[in-house]
Each structure stands twice: as structure tokens, then as C-alpha cells.
Structure 1
Amino acid sequence: MTATLADLLTTIERLWPIAGAESWDSPGLVTGDPAAPVRRVLFTVDTVVETVDEAIAEGADLVIAHHPLLLRGVTSVAEDRYKGSLIARLIRADCALVTAHTNADVVADGTSAVLADRLGLVETKPIQPSTDPSLGLGRVGRLPEPTTVGRLARVLAEILPATATGVRVAGGFDDPVETVAVCGGAGDSLLGDPAVRVADAYITADLRHHPASEAREQAKLTGGPALLDVSHWASEWLWLDVAAAQLRAAHPELTVVVSELRTDPWDFQIVQ
């Protein structure tokens, strides 16, 4: 039996409920006919030219992207603007687009939980729990065996897909680490959270100069974590395999593909 987009939307809502999204977010159906049949699904972090090319080449009926293409209001989808061009190409190819963003961050198998699991963290809990204390933003847990900041950075580099920026670290290479906080995607808003402040290391992406500097300076006075800054795209890409497996389990009739295209915006780095 062929599933329809409406069937998939029901499953997506069960897996990543819209109610879990942040108030500023815009997850859900972007384009597509709910009555249309869906046989092939492509998971990706970003909806960009390359992933739309891939979806069309794969004959996908649905793209499930982590990042919303239309996060903020737009006044035009003219095709001389990249968002309008992508939407038009998807519509012409009969390929729907759905996004699962912060609603996919807070669930039990969300972006941060997947990263924490790949690092082997145990006794994990959300950094900022929701009404259900097992759900929420970020994760903090304990390593089965203590390590150092340098070794943790090397393990992280092995776990994540390669990017131009790699893993940047603020902290001593040999500083001990046992408790680790993680937040997939941009996580400098959590730098002051008590659960992060008491961790030995904090792994996230998109750390800006001033928040990172202030956190490290405060750590010199009252303690605080080493900071490990990774690619935003890489920190969330690991979730795609888990999400795809969940969708396959719910709809074994589907062909579900995970994009391996690197959509991190940085192409190369010159180290001085």
C-alpha cells in the first residue's frame, strides 16, 4: 500500500510533535499536496541547491529537512531569489518539503541526544527540560571513563563528518573531563545554564567571540567547562540516520535515503 503525504505528516507529528517547537520556529509542511503518494524520502539538514538537485535526481517525493527554509517571513518567492527558486523546483518535481527543527531537538532521540549517545555519555538528562523532564534542549551526562579535553576533541572529530572548521577548543589539552554537556546546533544561549556551568566540557556549534570569551573568563573565577566548538551542520547531521530509521520502522514500504552531501557553508580554512 502506498503512503500519502498526509500519512507521513501524521507519523512526523508523532515522532517530532510540533508542540515541542520553540515559539520562534517554523517547522512543518512547506510545500506539497497532502493527498499525493510518497514512495521515496530524502533526509537532509539543509534545503539548498545541492540537496534539491539530489532530491530530484533520486526521484524523491518528499524531502524532510532539519532546518526550515522559510524560518522568517518572506514577501516573495520569485525565482530570481534562491528560496523561491528552490520551492519552484520542488513543486515542479512533485516533491514535498517538510521541516523538523526544534521539535526534533527536544525529543528523546533528538539531535543532542544522538550526539550524546555517540559520545557514549551515560545518565543523560536535558540541559533545559520541558514539562516532561526526560525531554528538552541539549543533554548533559557522564563519560563511562574520565578523559581529557584533548582526547575528547579527537573522539569528537572522529564521530562527526569532516568539515573545514573541524573542532575548535577553548581549554587545556590535558584538563580532566568526566561530565559533558552537548547541544546540537547553535548553543551559546545555554552557556550560562547551571547544567552547563558545572560540566567539565561543553560541545556545541556557532560559538561567537564574546559569549565564548566571557564564559571562559568567568570559568577562571568560579569554574566552568572547556568549550568545544564544531560545525553546526555536522553536529546535527548524525540525527538524520536515527530519524530515517524511525521513519522506516513506521513505513517499511518507503525508500528512505539520508543525504551525505556536506551543506556546511565553509569550504576551506587556512591555519596561520
Structure 2
Amino acid sequence: MTTVADAIAALEAAYPPELAESWDAVGLVCGDPGEELNRVLVCVDPVAETVDEAIETGAQLIVAHHPLLLRGVHGVPADTPKGGLVHRMVRGGVALFCAHTNADSADPGVSDALAAAIGVTGLTPLAPTPDGRTGIGRVGTLPEAEPFAVFVERVARALPATEGGVRAAGEANRPIRTVAVSGGAGDSYLSTAAALGVDAYVTADLRHHTAGEHLAVPGAPALVDVAHWASEWPWCEQAAGVLRAALGGTVVIDVSTRRTDPWTCQAAGAPTTRRTTR
């Protein structure tokens, strides 16, 4: 009999808990490790949509990237959004396991999956840990240089569509060969990418002033800003592969395709151009 504990052992071997940041909350959130396991759902976000999907498909375990209870809590009453999810999972016999910054830093991890999706190879950590093998982000190369505008389209085709789409900042004809990526919010690594001299940096949640100050430096990497959820979704198939390899086909492993990016619509608005104010 395959159990929840068997899946946890495989996931913690691939994404060691000790790689997690000190502020993070990873591991088993709810559920019984001794329960029999027949089906798993892998997703980015443990939210109502993915809990619904797990219950509908009969999964006994949700493997999520984002933690459900990242900040300290004093209770999980059922009339609160997160407490309600915990109660639904417990009542439905669904365990929840989260691999967050430990999956970000693992080798391979979240950024390896993002890099592979957009065709970047020869990967090394963007911000390595002392072992030089693990760490946040990845740096690699494209098979051959291509104009930035073409590269941006490459990224957009590789990732699931979201309302926010893909934003880019850089000269359309700039040749792009070396690329840094960081799944999730990666603006704290802008200076790291710049110091490595890469041609472009792909990440999520870039802020106005931070991006503007970065681009004001001559030669700074061009920027591609994607939706947070979309940047981490390729990891789901990687984690599913870890479980398929470890559990020997005894468990059905599903990857959720439900879009849990929080942005649901976008107004077209008027066309914009750069203006010089006097």
C-alpha cells in the first residue's frame, strides 16, 4: 500500500526542507501521513479552485508550491477563507503538502522548470548557496541569439496565458543569448542578474520604480515580466515527475490546469506611447 508518507519522502528528497528560507512554511499542512494514497493533484496555489479539483477527482493529496499558512495563525475557523479550506480538506480526506522556497532552491527546482519551458539550457544558479549547485534562479543560454522582441514572444508561447500577459522592457532588436530566470517574485535579484552580464532577465512581479532604476543603468539586462502563477506553473510537471518516478505507477498524478492567477480581466484602454513632458 502506498501512503501519503511515501509521497512526502519522495518530495522531501527532491526538495529538501533545509533549503527553505527561515521565514517559510513548508511540509505537511494537514492530513494523515499513514493514509492510503491513490491519487495526487499538483498545483501552484492551494486555493478553493484546486481544493475543488482534488475533491472532484478523488485525490488524497494536494502538492502545492505556495504555502497555505505562511504567516502565524492562532486558529483555522471554518468561517475564514483559509480555515474553510483546511476544514474542507480534512472532511474530504485530502492532505496538503507545500514545497516553496525549498523547491525554488533545489536542483532541479522551480527555475529549472521555467528555464526549460523557454528553451534556456546549460543552467547554473543565479544566486547560489555555498554548495554552488542549489540556489535561487538560474542562468543559461539560448541555442542561438535572437532579437529581444522574438525572445519575448518565445516566453509568451511557453507559459500558460493570463490576463496580465507578458510585459517586456528593452530594445526590440537587442540580441538575446544569455538569460537569467527566477520563478516567482524576482526583483530582489535584478542587481545579481546585471552583475552577471546576462542579456535578459525573466521573472514575475516587477515593480515600477525598481524596474525603471534597473533599466537606467547602461547595458542592464532587458526585462521580461510574467504572471507569478505562470512563472511557477512549469514546476508542477517537474514535481509530478518526481512522484511518478518514486511511486512506481501505483498512484495517479494529475497536474492542475486551473488558472489560479488572481487577475481575471483586463481593459484594453487607449494605446500608449512614451511621452516627453516639458
Output the TM-score relative to the length of structure 1. Answer: 0.95
Offset of 1:31 from its aligned partner?
0.2
The range that moved more, 102-111 or 257-266, is: 102-111
Instruction: State the distance in 1 between where 2:268 and 2:166 align.
Output: 13
**Residue number in structure 1 paired with 2:242:** 246
Write out aligned runs for 1:108-147 (5 A). 108-147=107-146
Q: 2:262 matched to 1:265?
A: yes
Secondary structure, aligned partner of 1:25: coil
CA deviations over 1:210-267 (Å, ceiling 9, x no partner): 21111111x23xx211110000000100111121011111102011100000000001
Q: 2:224 matched to 1:225?
A: no
Structure 2 counterpart of 1:259, which letter? S
Offset of 1:118 from its aligned partner?
2.1
**Residue number in structure 2 paired with 1:256:** 253
Structure 1 counterpart of 2:233, which letter? W
**Residue number in structure 2 paired with 1:100:** 99
**Residue number in structure 1 paired with 2:34:** 35
Q: 2:230 matched to 1:234?
A: yes
Aligned residues: 268
Query: CA, structure 1 residues 195+20, in 2 after alignment: closer, same or farther (shift >3 Å)?
Result: farther
**Residue number in structure 2 paired with 1:63:** 62
Secondary structure, aligned partner of 2:191: coil
Query: CA, structure 1 residues 149+194, in 2 after alignment: closer, same or farther (shift >3 Å)?
Result: closer
Hey, which bits of structure 1, 4+ residues long, moved more than 2 A? 194-197
Instruction: State the distance in 2 between where 1:36 and 1:136 align.
Output: 33
Instruction: State the distance in 1 between where 2:263 and 2:97 align.
Output: 25
Offset of 1:209 from its aligned partner?
1.1
Instruction: State the distance in 1 between where 2:119 and 2:163 align.
Output: 25
Query: CA, structure 1 residues 48+148, in 2 after alignment: closer, same or farther (shift >3 Å)?
Result: same
Instruction: State the distance in 2 between where 1:254 and 1:132 align.
Output: 34
Structure 1 counterpart of 2:172, which letter? F
Structure 1 counterpart of 2:116, which letter? D
Secondary structure, aligned partner of 1:47: coil
Output the TM-score relative to the length of structure 2. Answer: 0.93
Contact 1:188 1:207 in 2 (8 A): yes
Offset of 1:271 from its aligned partner?
2.9
Contact 2:10 2:242 in 1 (8 A): no
The range that moved more, 6-15 or 138-147, is: 6-15
Contact 2:121 2:142 in 1 (8 A): yes
**Residue number in structure 2 paired with 1:198:** 197
Structure 1 counterpart of 2:254, which letter? V
Instruction: State the distance in 2 between where 1:59 and 1:19 align.
Output: 31
CA deviations over 1:136-194 (Å, ceiling 9, x no partner): 11001111100111101101110000000111011111111111100000000101115
Structure 2 counterpart of 1:224, which letter? A
Structure 1 counterpart of 2:87, which letter? A
* RMSD after superposition: 1.2
